[in-house]
Copies of this chain bind each other. A is one copy, B any other.
Amino acid sequence: MKQITAEIIAIGDELLYGQIMDTNSYWISKKLDQIGVRVVRKTTVGDNEQDILHAFNSAQNRANIILITGGLGPTKDDLTKPLMAKFFDCTIAPFSEAIADVKTFFEKRGRELTPLNKLQGHLPSKCHYVKNERGTAPGMWFEENNCVWMSMPGVPHEMQYLMENFVLPKIKSIYTLPVIYHKVIKTAGIGESWLADMIAEWEDQLPEHIKLAYLPSLGEVKLRLTAFGDDITHLQDEVNDQIEKVKPLIKNYIYGYDQESIAEAIGKMLKVTGKTVAIAESCTGGYISHLVTAIPGSSNYFNGAMIPYHNQFKTDLLGVKEETLSTYGAVSENTVIEMASMVREKFKADFGLASSGIAGPGGGSPEKPVGTVWIAVADQSGVKTKKLQLAHDRSLNIQYSALAVLNLLRKVNKNQND
């Protein structure tokens, strides 16, 4: 089977001058990898005619598929559209469907169409217009010079919309792609090297055509199994058999599979058991609630939250005893126990979650340095707590603590049901 190859071209001075990190090329290459397309090169060029044309020209000698991001807005520094017309030797013409879509996009938002925006519906005549539901810069698909080409805006969520809804399905329909099956096991609460030790024997017995990769990220380690072959059902069966073998070795750490986040896993769990949750956040400042409510349907199990950032409100509004705060301090086991219990009561929930800590960079002391965080989960039988000792980065401390609270909830709930 012929290997189908792709090249990704990102356009924009801001990418060359270090003003924006190109996360698009990374995202695209991950998606292409999943469907069995091999990315052979990524190129970033500036808003410069000669460089852009050179990139188009050399890409078509290397790859079957050329995906282009950026340089598509309504303003003058955006060159992609005129240069694609030049490169494919065609004019820029009004596309009535594209103009109508831009118009509707503005109407829906109660705003008037400017002449500049109307021009966003004018496209290279050789392109197939692809509607961008998330913005006014259109997608443009070309089949020229023995390659397929797609030009997309550089705004990540617009590009992602076009990739998911048009480009990936289209590529799958055009090419015969090798069969690759990925399955990701998601674990939390254990480091990469410990995990590797626990599953070393299992890893050694994996067949040649099933590869294992460790993908560590904040507070979790993903295990990705990738199987190559030509029959998807067979690959799925093989991978699932391997997962059944590894599960008993690490079952306390697995919270989900594939794209599932820990908040989704918890949502699923709460829906099944019909239970509800409420959260009292101090150092995490709303981030736990955000993770929970980012999941569609979370109103079924999330009753609400309180963020009493100052001690006064921990007492006045949440009901933590003044004595507890003055004796043990806000960052203490006693305080998070009361926070979790009180928020559970106030919001009439089955589970009460709490966090209190020193996120940094200020506020540390010798006894409680920056990165000291107490977390708690209360249910009808009592309160489970945990102390975290994290590092000096405020943002990472907030994220890690929030994930740790959710993981503690997962374990408490699991023990109830085991």
Contact = CB atoms under 8 A, between A and B. Distances in A.
Interface of A: 13-23, 25-33, 38-47, 51, 58, 73-75, 77, 108-111, 114, 116-117, 133-134, 155, 157, 182, 184, 191-194, 196-197, 211-218, 224, 226, 279, 281, 285-290, 292-294, 296-299, 302-310, 313, 317, 346-347, 359-363, 389, 391, 393-396, 398
Nearest to A346: B317
Contacts of A299: 309-310, 363
Contacts of A155: 216-218
A26 B22 contact: yes
Given A41-B51, A196-B75, A303-B310, A18 B32 contact: yes
Nearest to A302: B309
A309 B22 CA distance: 36
Contact of A296 (B110, B117, B360): B360
A388 to B, nearest CB: 9
Nearest to A299: B309
Nearest to A316: B346
Contacts of A192: 73-75
A290 B213 CA distance: 33
A309 B30 CA distance: 36
Contacts of A279: 307
A134 B285 CA distance: 23
Contact of A213 (B14, B29, B42, B74): B14
Contacts of A51: 40-41
Contacts of A395: 294
A398 B289 CA distance: 12
A19 B224 contact: yes
Q: Secondary structure of the A side of the interface?
A: mixed
B41 A16 contact: yes
A120 B29 CA distance: 31
Contacts of A116: 193, 196-197
Between A33, A108, A193, A299, the greatest number of chain B beta carbons within 10 A of the residue's beta carbon is seen for: A193
Given A285-B294, A286-B287, 6 more contacts: A43-B43, A75-B214, A77-B213, A286-B293, A287-B293, A289-B289
Contact of A157 (B20, B110, B393): B393
Nearest to A74: B193
A21 B26 contact: yes
Given A19-B213, A308-B304, A296 B194 contact: no
A75 B193 contact: yes
B14 A31 contact: no
B44 A42 contact: yes
A93 B298 CA distance: 52
Contact of A42 (B15, B196, B281): B15
Q: Which 3 A-B pairs have the closest CB atoms?
A: A285-B293, A18-B30, A286-B289
A228 to B, nearest CB: 12
Contacts of A193: 74-75, 114, 116-117
Nearest to A30: B18
Contacts of A214: 73, 75, 77
Nearest to A317: B346
A317 B184 CA distance: 42
A290 B287 contact: yes
A316 to B, nearest CB: 8
A389 B396 CA distance: 33
Nearest to A294: B395
Contact of A17 (B29, B296, B310): B29
Given A75-B192, A286-B289, A289-B285, A296 B361 contact: yes
A212 to B, nearest CB: 7
A17 B41 contact: no
30 contacts: A14-B224, A16-B41, A17-B33, A19-B182, A19-B184, A19-B215, A20-B215, A21-B23, A40-B46, A40-B51, A43-B43, A47-B213, A73-B216, A110-B389, A111-B191, A116-B197, A133-B391, A285-B290, A285-B294, A286-B292, A287-B293, A289-B307, A293-B307, A293-B359, A293-B398, A296-B360, A296-B362, A303-B309, A305-B309, A313-B347
